[in-house]
């Protein structure tokens, strides 16, 4: 029954366009370094194996303004640029820590993983994770996955040229 319902819902969403990329308004506190208040175009996908909604991570430059999560949104960076990620979920995080995993796309190798502290009431996150003075990534394509406990709640890819 659950499988049939999931398949029906998925087909319905696909047929109606599911509003992907339509934009979602985020209302959050004014402390941009911890919690963000901004407009964000949030695309979501459904993990077919688990039925989990996975939010799309966007990348760009750190934003100190409440109007945007990131400035100069893009997916390609030079190796000497800082990279900021941002994403939004439809539900509160409900935890005090999220796990971030960095993978090399070409061989699916886990390059790094770390935890970041969050407020359980937050629904969005902005995090600068690539700083050339600390960790310079080689040219190539990378994936970031964000986990709440063992559940993937966010994912996105970017390229270093």
Q: Is residue 3 situated within a structural domain?
A: no
The better pLDDT of the pair 87, 15 is held by 87
Model confidence at 73: pLDDT above 70: yes
Q: Which among 56, 59, 141, 131 has a CA at the least distance from the CA of 104?
A: 141
Q: Are the CB atoms for 123 and 26 separated by under 8 Å?
A: yes
Q: Is residue 105 situated within a structural domain?
A: yes
Q: Which among 66, 138, 136, 144 has a CA at the least distance from the CA of 102?
A: 144
pLDDT class for 156, splitting at 50, 70, 90? very high
Total number of domains in the chain: 1
CATH number of the domain where residue 103 is located: 2.60.40.1930
Q: Is residue 10 situated within a structural domain?
A: no
DSSP secondary structure code for residue 19 in this structure: T
Structure-block tokens of residue 38: 């901004």
Q: Is residue 2 situated within a structural domain?
A: no
Structure-block tokens of residue 144: 């970031």
Q: Is residue 1 situated within a structural domain?
A: no
Q: Is residue 79 situated within a structural domain?
A: yes
Q: Is residue 114 situated within a structural domain?
A: yes
Model confidence at 26: pLDDT above 90: no
- Computed over every residue of the chain, the mean pLDDT equals 72
pLDDT class for 12, splitting at 50, 70, 90? very low
Which of 38-42, 51-55, 130-134 has the least mean pLDDT?
A: 38-42
Model confidence at 17: pLDDT above 50: no
| Residue-range definition of the domain harbouring residue 99 | 20-160
Element (H, E) at 110: strand 109-117
Report the distance separating Cα 116 and Cα 35, nearest Å. 12
- For the stretch 133-151, pLDDT in tens is 567 788 899 999 999 999 9
């Amino acid at each position: 029954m659950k499988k049939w319902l999931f398949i029906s819902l998925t087909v319905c969403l696909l047929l109606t366009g599911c509003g992907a990329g339509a934009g979602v308004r985020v209302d959050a506190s004014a402390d941009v370094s911890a919690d963000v208040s901004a407009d964000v175009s949030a695309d979501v996908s459904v993990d077919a194996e688990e039925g989990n909604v996975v939010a799309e991570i966007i990348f760009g430059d750190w934003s100190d303004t409440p109007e945007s999560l990131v400035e100069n949104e893009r997916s390609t960076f030079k190796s000497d640029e800082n990279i900021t990620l941002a994403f939004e979920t439809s539900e509160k995080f409900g935890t005090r820590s999220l796990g971030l995993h960095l993978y090399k796309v070409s061989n699916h190798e886990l390059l790094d993983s770390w935890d970041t502290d969050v407020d359980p009431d937050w629904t969005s996150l902005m995090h600068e994770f690539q700083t050339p003075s600390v960790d310079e990534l080689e040219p190539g394509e990378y994936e970031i996955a964000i986990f709440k406990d063992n559940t993937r709640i966010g994912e996105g890819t970017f390229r270093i040229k």
